[in-house]
Amino acid sequence: MFEPVIAPSGTLLGLLQRGRGDGTLHALAAPRAEAVEALRQCVLHDPRSDWQVENRSLYYARLWRDLDADLDAVAEHLFDADDTASDEADEQRTGLALSVLGHLAGYGRTDALLLLRRYAARGAAWQWALDELAVRDDDEGLRSLGPAVLARFAATPEGDGALAAAVAEAFEPRPWNLWADDPVLGERVRGAQERRSFALWQRQLRPGGPRPDWSVTAVLGWAQQGYEDNPDWPRHSAAARCLAAVGTATDYPELLSAAAGGPDGARGAALAHLAATADPQALNLIELATATGSAYVAATALSAYGRMSSPAAVARARRWVGRSDALGTAAGVMLARRGGAGDAEAVRAALLRTVRLEGPDTTALWALTEGAGRLGIRDAAPVLRHIYRETASSQLRGLAAAALAATDPAFGRGFAVECLWDCEETTRELAARTAETADSRVVDQLRRLATDPAEEAGVQTAVRTRITPEGPSRHA
């Protein structure tokens, strides 16, 4: 997955790329041309490190609407030569723009609706555009797209198979159901729908993927073979589940030997199995693996440790947490998730060390940030504020906001205010419950969220707890 270039957090572009509420507030206060250009750059060059998890489309669509920006640059981007030169959809290149268009169409922008129709008829990522239209366009508009969509599939067995796959992959069946009733297109669409159902039935009857023979030796060999065939898709997790089913007391020496120094694929499977069963030797073997194993073995051992929940695993974390290596970080994560009040200082130190050594976007910060909030570590508030400002992950920022709500008395009159404009619905919901209404912007935004048809139900429920016939309540 490509890594986007993120501008500094103090710039307008950096704020918008991160999806922060201050991005919207600063954009509305900036010269319009500057704000529109920064917004276009975000929409046309998706800034998310994981576009399948993080939200930006509604956030950008609302600002696009408020700035009343035109869609010329979006149309040029969608119909770029990179799109028209290939039949393969590059959803990472076009998905955000199409989603923004969908929200704009929902807000009544006819030009967005027409652009989505054009792209559904001609573009490579037409299925995404069609799914956006399926929940926003009228029946007449969707029916008009039927001939163009069906023309993509040749009247051959291969074309019929591709059509059935497209029907099966659709998130929204409404267009296909409309076309199934069409006197010209209906027979072919109904055939594709029936073929989809038959294919599902066949998959349910068909045996699954490769299976190991039914012994510990065979399972370990199967895990090793999978690792050698494709190191990016190892079988240690599946093999560990098989080992739990076939292993007996007589196999224990073989499992210990594999976990201590077997070939990488088998070693990873044995480590995962022993950790999952809370074996008394698992923790020592995990420590050995991180010290002597390959990068794959060490990562597998740390992952297996992270899934442990026994008192022994927590106790060992208290011994390891002072280390400055990956095992020390994993121990900090363990205490953040499962430790008690007495572990607060160790979690705070691990949080600070991780930020200093690895920056504000490393994976371990998710659990450490949540742990700081769970344990109510007030001394962690400064580093939580740093994570909130600097991380490029909107979901990690949401965790930081929740932790600050639990540790920072100033959160309700500080970051909670801008969180009402955040790109993540869970962060907006938190803000709707906690932002103090002494700031007039809070009252106005709560009212806007309450009436916005695109807003999530959880956010609007939180807003309704704050807005009463007597007016907004000051506190959550």
User: For the segment 336-377, what is each residue's pLDDT rounded down to a tens digit?
Assistant: 999 999 999 999 999 999 999 999 999 999 999 999 999 999
Tokens of 122: 């001609």
**Could you tell me if 31 and 155 lie in one domain?**
yes
Query: Considering the domain boundaries, does residue 270 fall inside one?
Result: yes
Q: Are 346 and 332 in contact (CB under 8 A)?
A: yes
Per-residue confidence (pLDDT) for residue 224, from 0 to 100: 95
**Could you tell me if 195 and 100 lie in one domain?**
yes
**Distance from C-alpha of 19 to C-alpha of 135, rounded to nearest angstrom:** 25
Number of structural domains the chain divides into: 2
User: For the segment 226-284, what is each residue's pLDDT rounded down to a tens digit?
Assistant: 999 998 888 999 999 999 999 889 999 999 999 999 999 999 999 999 999 999 999 99
Average pLDDT over residues 9-14: 96
Query: pTM of the entire structure?
Result: 0.90
The radius of gyration of the chain's CA atoms, rounded to the nearest angstrom, is 27
Average pLDDT over residues 177-201: 81
User: For the segment 375-394, what is each residue's pLDDT rounded down to a tens digit?
Assistant: 999 999 999 999 999 999 99
Query: Considering the domain boundaries, does residue 395 fall inside one?
Result: no
Per-residue confidence (pLDDT) for residue 249, from 0 to 100: 92
Is residue 128 predicted with pLDDT exceeding 50?
Answer: yes
**Could you tell me if 44 and 25 lie in one domain?**
yes
User: For the segment 39-53, what is each residue's pLDDT rounded down to a tens digit?
Assistant: 999 999 999 988 889
Domain that residue 218 falls in: 212-308
**Could you tell me if 156 and 221 lie in one domain?**
no
Closest Cα partner for 107 from 62, 43, 139?
62
Query: Considering the domain boundaries, does residue 168 fall inside one?
Result: yes
Is residue 476 predicted with pLDDT exceeding 80?
Answer: no
Which residue type does 466 have? R
Is residue 102 predicted with pLDDT exceeding 80?
Answer: yes
**Could you tell me if 173 and 222 lie in one domain?**
no
Phi-psi label, residue 376: left if phi above 0, alpha if psi -120 to 50, beta otherwise: left
**Could you tell me if 224 and 267 lie in one domain?**
yes
Q: Are 115 and 103 in contact (CB under 8 A)?
A: no
**Could you tell me if 267 and 148 lie in one domain?**
no
The whole-angstrom distance between residue 135's C-alpha and the CA centroid of its chain comes to: 22
**Could you tell me if 168 and 269 lie in one domain?**
no
**Could you tell me if 52 and 191 lie in one domain?**
yes
**Could you tell me if 174 and 240 lie in one domain?**
no
Per-residue confidence (pLDDT) for residue 469, from 0 to 100: 53
Query: Considering the domain boundaries, does residue 473 fall inside one?
Result: no
Is residue 210 predicted with pLDDT exceeding 60?
Answer: no
User: For the segment 24-38, what is each residue's pLDDT rounded down to a tens digit?
Assistant: 999 999 999 999 999
How many C-beta neighbours within 10 Å does residue 10 have?
11
Tell me which of 182, 205, 228 is where a domain ends.
205
Query: Considering the domain boundaries, does residue 195 fall inside one?
Result: yes
More confident residue, 214 or 458: 458
Closest Cα partner for 354 from 377, 331, 378, 381?
331
Is residue 441 predicted with pLDDT exceeding 60?
Answer: yes
Helix (H) or strand (E) holding 420: none
Query: Considering the domain boundaries, does residue 1 fall inside one?
Result: no
Is residue 87 predicted with pLDDT exceeding 60?
Answer: no
Is residue 203 predicted with pLDDT exceeding 50?
Answer: no
Kindly list the distances between the CA atom of residue 262 and the CA atoms of 266, 289, 297, 399, 440, in Å, as whole numbers in the listed order.
6, 11, 10, 39, 65
**Could you tell me if 99 and 116 lie in one domain?**
yes
Per-residue confidence (pLDDT) for residue 91, from 0 to 100: 84
DSSP state letters, 242-306 = HHHHH--GGGHHHHHHHHHHS-HHHHHHHHHHHHHTT-TTHHHHHHHHHHHS-HHHHHHHHHHHH
**Distance from C-alpha of 4 to C-alpha of 255, rounded to nearest angstrom:** 43
Tell me which of 188, 205, 222 is where a domain ends.
205
Query: Considering the domain boundaries, does residue 454 fall inside one?
Result: no
Per-residue confidence (pLDDT) for residue 193, from 0 to 100: 87
Tell me which of 308, 326, 353 is where a domain ends.
308
Q: pLDDT tier at 82 (50, 70, 90 boundaries)? A: confident
Per-residue confidence (pLDDT) for residue 83, from 0 to 100: 73
**Distance from C-alpha of 362 to C-alpha of 110, rounded to nearest angstrom:** 42
